[in-house]
Chains A and B, each alone.
Chain A
């Protein structure tokens, strides 16, 4: 009987402990300071941060599974002193907070929330203002970053950080975030099996989204607008890119998307609008570009060397200054069944496919590659004449670079 009683007591007490809730506010709560509350808490506790202004920085959570939930109006001001939260724990939840004024440093990566070796984490509804780094997530797994807004005031790449930076992470879901005016919007370095969707990334100094050595990731339904250099996907394998919008990336080194050393990727249903270069492909192999729309770009696609077995099919190329710029040989890349708004052929058998093949590379784009300044002659009568003569008998452009089955009407899906 005594044993049973003690077991019940034990169960009740552990239950009490695991469901312990602590409140934090300026007066009348359990604690005044977030750090003290965390020090006093036990794994499994929930901490409620009431509305108020907390001037705290470097809040450390070490090996405790805590749920930290803010009330509306809960603001943590780190006063440019360092990290906001610095976490190394599993099963951690941080929600509904506003964190601001993160210290800028040239030697340390101060972030609003730093997660290190944390598993099963959730970061939700956090607003970070004046961020250096937003969320710096290192060597972590199985997390969710959802509905956050991160903005910085960086003026140069050197003195700004990344909004959401993943380093050696796996299985992280990044959804519905709004990141702006940082260095990189979202940066995955050695990250795999992550899912990135419905984010809005704009006005970042470098890339809206950046992959480095990150394989097997999916990103879809994101909008990347007016970033310094667009989106960069580099040295990665098996990336799936669906339904994203890339727009208004203007500049000498600006791309809708920059693909560098990418293998086995898939681009489908993306839109590229008003970019200096829609897709800049360099060293890409076995990539399928299907049903993407390129509209009003300077160059829709610019292919540099070392690209093999890429298939471009059923894409819409609409009113780009240049549809394609191509360096080197065709290298078993295929263009088929695309719609080109510049196509002037006919379709006598009415099967929806033009009877005359289309040559997407123009002589003028070759000339502009050689002497960029000749761009001032764009759309001049002389250029139209030499383009036409090149079309009739190709000399400078790869002869077999042809869409043999151009569509007569826009591809729909």
Chain B
């Protein structure tokens, strides 16, 4: 598996898309810092970008990479190799190279700006951690979709639809259900709703450290307990890990049974 991981990783590192991705974040980081001049505000703006763009790029890259390397995958399948190690190796190769572009692209300008001397370092590391989680989650979801669909166009379509659903439509439905059931106690429902969507989950996680804390307690005891203590942080990270593990398990099972 490690060999395939290494191969995929270096293959992607050589491809120009990784550099474009890296350059994009580098530029974003530099522009934000020098227009804003305020590290903690830059972190907030960055959050908006990360929770939308990272999933999108993870999805598109994942699907693209799977379909592009399909012939090579079929060649590998002819070798005496375990199927799970082939697909997991490819998946990890994509996810790790994307995460590296993200961390380096954003990290370099912030370090140059003086991150280590700033109090925003925890907010910033949280931002990067959730960014990495999102990359892993959406790459895995994209691999799942690609594995289930032989048709490239269909696969791409589903992948984009999944991103659209989780990034925007889900929140719309969520909000509508909250308004519809406003006569009932909603605090637990809304927390569960947040947990079920990795994008919402990461957003909440970052907001916990940023401005939701000022609104803390406004909405009642359950929220106060969840947002006010490290309990919320632990649960959120646990859920994010589950969001990584479940799709990865499905990759393993699906690839074992799939005909090529």
Contacts and interface: CB of A to CB of B under 8 A. Distances in A.
20 contacts: A250-B216, A251-B218, A252-B218, A252-B219, A276-B214, A299-B215, A321-B212, A372-B218, A372-B220, A373-B190, A374-B190, A375-B218, A375-B219, A376-B200, A378-B211, A378-B215, A379-B207, A380-B171, A380-B203, A382-B171
Q: Which of A251, A275, A370, A371 has the most CB of B within 10 A?
A: A371
Contacts of B179: 367, 370-371, 374
Given A370-B182, A376-B190, A379-B207, A296 B217 contact: no
B217 A254 contact: yes
Contacts of B204: 376
Contacts of A296: 211, 214
Contacts of A373: 178, 186-187, 189-190, 219, 223
B99 interface: no
A250 B175 contact: no
A338 interface: no
B208 to A, nearest CB: 11
A379 B168 contact: no
Interface string B168-198: 1101101100110010001101110110000
A277 B217 CA distance: 11
Nearest to A278: B214
A275 B211 CA distance: 11
Given A367-B179, A381-B171, 16 more contacts: A250-B213, A251-B217, A252-B217, A252-B220, A274-B213, A277-B218, A319-B211, A321-B212, A370-B182, A374-B175, A376-B190, A377-B175, A377-B200, A378-B207, A379-B203, A385-B168
Nearest to A372: B219
B41 interface: yes
B47 interface: yes
A371 B186 contact: yes
Interface string A273-295: 01111000000000000000000
B162 interface: no
A275 B216 CA distance: 9
Contact of A371 (B178, B212, B214): B178
A378 B182 CA distance: 17
Contacts of B218: 251-252, 276-277, 298, 372, 375
Contacts of B220: 252, 372
B121 interface: no
B48 interface: yes
B212 to A, nearest CB: 6
A319 B51 CA distance: 20
A378 to B, nearest CB: 6
Nearest to B216: A250
B216 A276 contact: yes
Contact of B214 (A252, A321, A380): A321
Contacts of B41: 319
B52 interface: yes
A254 B213 CA distance: 13
B167 interface: yes
A359 B201 CA distance: 30
Interface string A22-35: 00000000000000
A367 B172 CA distance: 13
A382 B176 CA distance: 12
Interface string A60-84: 0000000000000000000000000
Contacts of B191: 376
A362 B182 CA distance: 20
Interface string A293-314: 0001111000000000000000
Contacts of B207: 378-379
Contacts of B189: 373
A385 B171 CA distance: 11
B219 A298 contact: no
A372 B215 CA distance: 11
A384 B175 CA distance: 13
Interface string B34-51: 000000010010011001
